[in-house]
């Protein structure tokens, strides 16, 4: 899977590394901005309240 990704990326090794880092940054941004808050809302809230 990741081997295939590496082969799909164009250019010499240094360019591929830069492209990979950019990809990782994009994925991390998407995770923190949308995915993690969404997952967080699915998990039961740890409330600090008392209630029946």
Indicate the residue among 22 and 27 with the shorter CB distance to another protein: 27
The distance of closest approach from Cβ of residue 18 to another protein in the complex, given in angstroms and rounded to an integer, is 18
C-alpha 38/C-alpha 9 separation (Å) is: 31
Contact between 16 and 6 (Cβ < 8 Å): yes
> What single DSSP character describes residue 45?
P
Which residue intervals of the chain are DSSP H helices? 2-8, 13-30, 36-42
Indicate the residue among 22 and 31 with the shorter CB distance to another protein: 31
The distance of closest approach from Cβ of residue 41 to another protein in the complex, given in angstroms and rounded to an integer, is 7
Judged by the rule CB under 8 A, the positions of this chain that interact with another protein are 1-4, 7, 28, 31-32, 36, 39-41, 45-52
């Amino acid at each position: 899977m990741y081997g295939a990704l590496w082969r799909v990326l164009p250019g010499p090794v240094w360019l591929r590394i830069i492209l990979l880092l950019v990809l990782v940054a994009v994925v991390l941004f998407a995770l923190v901005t949308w995915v993690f808050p969404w997952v967080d809302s699915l998990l039961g809230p740890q409330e600090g309240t008392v209630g029946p």
